Chain A
Amino acid sequence: MESTQKMSYQITLSDKRGAKHRRAAARFVGAARRRLLDALADHPEITQSDIARELGVNRAVINRQLRGTAPMSMTRCAEIASVLGCRAEVSFIEPRKMVGDNAANAHPDFLQDDPLETPNSSFRAYYTHSGNYRIKGASNEPAVAEPGHGYFKVISASLPQMEFGL
């Protein structure tokens, strides 16, 4: 509880053992449900009743699992995918240690007067109307940057050419 009060403002919802991993699981299952609903929407000819009939369960069970009011096992996830004619796959991603190209897509409007802090770094990245991405490093000196291979490569003349790794 105490840690929640100190949010300034990385969210710390719970410090109890395993909480971080539980949150990772909730994020994963939430994404899996969305992908299942996407797949279902791609097959409008197949209803939840059809899925339930194929799997030999009540339609309400499938409905609750898709809505998130009942647990969704990996088995059920794959079963539903199969009924939809899809193959479910799982990837295990090891996060890159450096700021990636994703940073280049940061939302522009919110950033105009409020630079978005690059996660886990001391650098701030924000989008400019000219289509460049500006970053400020520890020196607080602005530099024009372009996405590099997994990190930003600074191309400004105001700084010696350098690469920011984390």
Chain B
Amino acid sequence: MATLKELCDQERLHRLKPDLDADQMQRRAVVIFDHVRSQIAALCGVASPTGNEFDLDEQFDALIYSFCIGEQFQLPGDFHEMDHRDPGVWELKTADLRLFGWFYRRDVFIVTDVKDATFVKKGPENVTVTVSLYHGFCTSAVHWRDQLDLDPPKFVDGKHPENVLSNYVVR
């Protein structure tokens, strides 16, 4: 078993540190699995498929930034719990992105997948049948969580947003 910090030191996980000004401080933290790095890299320069004015990597940065500085998040517009057989899987979202994972502690989110929302909702473009991949990504989050040698409790249980996030509002 290892602490979150030890797993970061071992580079099995990586903590995101968005560019902040000198007078800004992180109030929340985002930690990603190593494999998520390539998913983030794949976002670079990809235009929004829905008409948002910003590319996917720019949306990703804005989301991580607003999360980390502790901006008021809106439920369900910015985050919500996933309806899945296993508890504790949550999603952070932008217009075009879905970040799957779980809250290790309140305000500490561990990301297991970062995907284009259109892909998650409809599946690959070259498949003619529309297939929602939400369930699969939730299962993936649970898989990574089970595999991770993290000190218990590994995740915040319970569906109430108060348990996982400070400064939120239900819309």
Q: Which residues of A contact B (CB under 8 A)?
A: 1, 4-5, 7-11, 13-14, 16, 20, 22-23, 25-27, 29-31, 34, 37-38, 41, 64, 67-72, 95-100, 102-103, 105-107, 109-110, 113-114, 116-121, 125, 150, 166
Interface size of B by CB at 8 A reads 58
Distance, CA A72 to CA B154, complexed state (A): 39
Q: Which residue on A lies nearest to B21, using beta carbons?
A: A95
Of residues 24 through 69 on chain B, the ones whose CB sits less than 8 Å from some CB of chain A are 24-29, 37, 40-41, 43-45, 48, 50-55, 57-66
Other contacts beyond A26-B58, A106-B26: 11, CB < 8 A: A10-B18, A11-B17, A13-B61, A16-B45, A34-B74, A38-B72, A68-B96, A105-B25, A110-B29, A116-B25, A125-B25
Does the CB pair A41–B171 fall under 8 Å? yes
Q: Which residue on A lies nearest to B5, using beta carbons?
A: A114
> Would you call the interface of chain B mostly helix, strand, loop, or mixed?
loop
9 contacts between A and B (CB under 8 A): A9-B16, A11-B40, A71-B53, A99-B22, A100-B24, A105-B27, A114-B5, A121-B22, A125-B25
Q: Which residues of B contact A (CB under 8 A)?
A: 3-5, 14-29, 37, 40-41, 43-45, 48, 50-55, 57-66, 70-72, 74, 77-78, 94-96, 105-108, 166, 169, 171
Distance, CA A106 to CA B107, complexed state (A): 11
Partner of A26, one of B15, B41, B54: B54
B92 to chain A, nearest CB (A): 12
Does the CB pair A27–B65 fall under 8 Å? yes
Does the CB pair B66–A31 fall under 8 Å? yes
Partner of B17, one of A9, A95, A121: A9
Partner of A100, one of B5, B16, B23, B53: B23
Partner of A14, one of B14, B29, B44: B44
Q: Which residue on B lies nearest to A99, using beta carbons?
A: B22
Does the CB pair B54–A22 fall under 8 Å? yes
Q: Which residue on A lies nearest to B4, using beta carbons?
A: A114
Does the CB pair B54–A37 fall under 8 Å? no
Distance, CA A142 to CA B65, complexed state (A): 29
Q: Which residue on B lies nearest to A4, using beta carbons?
A: B41
Does the CB pair B21–A67 fall under 8 Å? no
Does the CB pair A110–B105 fall under 8 Å? yes
